[in-house]
Amino acid sequence: MQSGLAVSGSEPALSEGSARPDTEPMLALILDDSEMNNLLLARALAPVQGCRPVEFTEPEAALAFLRANVARIGIAITDYDMPGMTGLEFIAAARAVEGFRHVPIVMVTSLDQQSLRREALGIGATDFLGKPCDPVEIRARVTNLLALSRAYRQEQERTEVLAREVAAAIAACEAREREIIALLMRAAEHRDTDTGDHIARVAAYVEIVARNLGMEREACARLSLASTMHDVGKIGVSDTILLKRGPLSEDERREMEKHAERGRRILQGSGSEVVQLAAEIAASHHERWDGTGYPAGLTGDAIPLSGRIVAVADVFDALVSERPYKRAWPLDEAGEFLREQAGRHFDPACVAAFLAGWDDVTRHARGFAA
């Protein structure tokens, strides 16, 4: 018998982690440098339903087959004393293979090798067979272990299906959430023709700042989406103020400043994490690091980080955009203004994160302008 030759014929390899139909027999990998011992084990397992023995006399060949057929192997049986690699080393190598962590491994040992058995358990052995092997005991142990292996894999398959269903449901909810937000902001666009472009630019800048501050990818995306609602409170500001050409009067400015608190009231109380974050942003993105902002006059770290990030993005975009009351600033001048106002108007860390992404900032600014 040649090394790696299966009693029932050679087995085609499947890609690691590929599905195994329930009707297909699970493979019992047998490893012993003695061909006779392999033959005896294979014959003992022949009556076991749903089991197909595959024999090897060389550990490296067995490991190569194992790595290529993880999804098909239901149990591995290895001798301890083999040239080149001991049974303990084989078990350790097998446990390191992705997807093989929970497959039962049985080591064949003499009955008096208690210390060896304890060591084998420590590195991942599941059970033991004593020498000389009793065919009845072999069949009973392997049958039970194969049942456990099959049950584990079925549970894994159910878990994977459930995870996909949950992910699909979450994706659908997030898509609906984004759609509702887009509709809300479309309503705001009717008040100001630049609003749509403005919120898109601000969202892009917010993501750059958040990323450079070290936020996780999902948190960056969530903050960027929430930032699109930062000025939703302007829905309550009259057109005469919102579209006025020239400076606002003191009374008009106070009325305009109410949009921050109005935005918070519009958005508060939602069960959506994104909308909750948007309410926080609406209320805080006009606060200033030195406490001279509105509506609450918060200072420093008392201002929510979300508001501090959006403040930088919002002011920069306002500077570089043409408005009824001002010309558009050159990008470099606007960047220099942020640098000068770090520690006064803006959180210095947020300004540094914004400027660290300057290439991306200018690319977005010019891209939207085009």
- Tell whether omega for the bond before 295 is within 30 degrees of 0, i.e. cis: yes
Determine the Cα–Cα distance for residues 359 and 328; give it in Å rounded to an integer. Answer: 19
Among residues 237, 249, 220, the alpha carbon closest in space to that of 309 is found at 220
Q: In the prediction, which pLDDT does 286 show?
A: 96
162's tokens: 């459930």
Instruction: Note the pLDDT of residue 186.
Output: 64
Q: What is the dihedral of CA 115, 119, 122, 123, to 10 degrees?
A: -160
pLDDT at 194: 53
How long a stretch of residues is the chain? Answer: 370
Q: From first to last of the 370 residues of the chain, give the pLDDT tens digit.
A: 344 444 333 444 443 334 444 568 899 999 999 999 999 999 999 999 889 999 999 999 999 999 999 999 999 999 998 988 999 999 999 999 999 999 999 999 875 777 888 888 999 999 998 888 889 999 999 999 999 988 988 898 898 899 899 988 878 877 777 777 776 666 665 555 555 578 889 999 999 999 999 999 999 999 999 999 998 888 888 777 877 777 888 999 898 899 999 999 999 988 889 999 999 999 999 999 999 999 999 999 999 999 999 999 999 999 998 876 678 899 999 999 999 999 999 999 999 999 999 999 999 888 754 4
Domains and CATH numbers, the chain: 26-162 (3.40.50.2300), 191-369 (1.10.3210.10)
Task: In whole angstroms, give the CA distance from residue 10 to residue 339.
Answer: 70
Of 78, 60, 56, 44, the closest CA to residue 11 belongs to 56
| Cβ neighbours of 266 (radius 10 Å) | 20
Between the alpha carbon of residue 217 and those of residues 212, 285, 308, the distances in Å are 11, 22, 19
Determine whether 216 is exposed, middle or buried from the number of CB atoms within 10 Å of its CB (0-12, 13-18, 19+). exposed
What is the pTM (predicted TM-score) of this model?
A: 0.57
- Is residue 80 within 8 A of residue 109, CB to CB? The reply is yes
Terminal-to-terminal C-alpha distance of the chain: 73
pLDDT digits (tens, 9 = 90+) for 318-351: 999 887 667 889 999 999 999 999 999 999 999 9
